[in-house]
Amino acid sequence: MGNTKVLVTDNLEQEGTSILKKANFEVDEKGKLSVEELEKIIGRYDVLIVRSGTRVPSSVIEKADNLKIIGRAGVGVDNVDVKTATAKGILVMNAPEGNTLSASEHTIGLILSLARNIPQADASLKTGKWERNRFMGTELFGKIIGIIGLGRIGKRVASIAHSLGMKVLGYDPYMTEEDALSLNISLMTLEGLCMQSDIISVHTPLVPETKHLLSEKQFFIMKDGVMIVNVARGGLIDEDILIKYIKNGKVRGVALDVFEKEPPLESELLKLDNAVVTPHLGASTREAQVNVARDICQQIIEAIQKKIIRNAINMSTMDEKLYEKMKGYLTLSEKLGIFLSQLLDDIPESLIIEYAGEIVNYDVSPLRAYVLKGFLERFCPVTYVNAPLILREKGIKLNEIKNKSAGEFFTTIRLEAKYSNESISVTGTVVSEKLKIVKINDFDVEAIPQGYLLICLNDDKPGLMGYIGTIIGKKNVNIASMTLGRKEKGGQAITVLNLDSEIDKQTIKEIEKFSGIWRIKLVRC
Q: How many CA atoms lie within 13 A of 347 on its CB side?
A: 15
Smallest distance, Å, CB 94 to ligand MLT? 8
Q: Distance from first CA to last CA of the chain, Å, rounded?
A: 21
CA dist., res. 160 & res. 229, Å (int): 15
Position among 76, 234, 366, 428 found at the interface with ligand MLT (CB under 6 A): 76
**By the rule CB under 6 A, 335 interacts with ligand MLT:** no
Question: Phi/psi zone of residue 72: left (φ > 0), alpha (ψ -120 to 50 degrees), beta?
Answer: beta
CA dist., res. 104 & res. 90, Å (int): 31
The full DSSP string for 473-505 is: HHTT--EEEEEEEESSTTSEEEEEEEESS---H
- The letter for the amino acid at 362 is Y
252-291 positions binding ligand MLT, by CB under 6 A: 280, 282-283
Please say which residue, 57 or 192, places its beta carbon nearer to ligand MLT: 57
Smallest distance, Å, CB 283 to ligand MLT? 4
Q: Judge whether 480 and 498 are in contact, CB under 8 Å.
A: yes
Measured CA angle at 254 (ends 249, 256), to 5 deg: 155
231-250 positions binding ligand MLT, by CB under 6 A: none
Smallest distance, Å, CB 422 to ligand MLT? 51
**By the rule CB under 6 A, 51 interacts with ligand MLT:** yes
Measuring CA to CA, which residue among 449, 424, 236 is closest to residue 343? 424
Measuring CA to CA, which residue among 184, 100, 212 is closest to residue 108? 100
**By the rule CB under 6 A, 75 interacts with ligand MLT:** yes
51 binds, among ligand MLT, ligand NAD, none (CB under 5 to 8 A by kind): ligand MLT
How far out from the chain centre does Cα 446 lie? 36
264-323 positions binding ligand NAD, by CB under 6 A: 280, 282-283
Smallest distance, Å, CB 313 to ligand NAD? 11
Site track for ligand MLT across 83-122, x = CB under 6 A: ----------------x-----------------------
**By the rule CB under 6 A, 99 interacts with ligand NAD:** yes
285: DSSP letter = S
**By the rule CB under 6 A, 330 interacts with ligand MLT:** no
**By the rule CB under 6 A, 150 interacts with ligand NAD:** yes
Position among 75, 292, 304, 477 found at the interface with ligand NAD (CB under 6 A): 75
Number of residues forming the site for ligand MLT (CB under 6 A)? 9
As annotated, the active-site residues are 233, 262, 280
Site track for ligand MLT across 429-458, x = CB under 6 A: ------------------------------
Q: Judge whether 49 and 296 are in contact, CB under 8 Å.
A: yes
**By the rule CB under 6 A, 204 interacts with ligand MLT:** no
**By the rule CB under 6 A, 93 interacts with ligand NAD:** no
Q: How many CB atoms lie within 10 A of CB 62?
A: 14
20 CB-near residues (< 8 Å, 6+ apart): 6, 27, 297, 300, 301
209 binds, among ligand MLT, ligand NAD, none (CB under 5 to 8 A by kind): ligand NAD
* 195-225: burial string, b at 16+ Cβ within 10 Å, e else: bbbbbbbbbbebeeebebbbeeebbeebbee
Cis peptide before 263 (omega within 30 of 0): yes
**By the rule CB under 6 A, 232 interacts with ligand NAD:** yes
Binding stretches for ligand MLT (CB under 6 A) = 51-52, 74-76, 99, 280, 282-283
Binding stretches for ligand NAD (CB under 6 A) = 75-76, 96, 99-100, 103, 148-154, 171-174, 203-206, 209-210, 231-233, 257-258, 280, 282-283
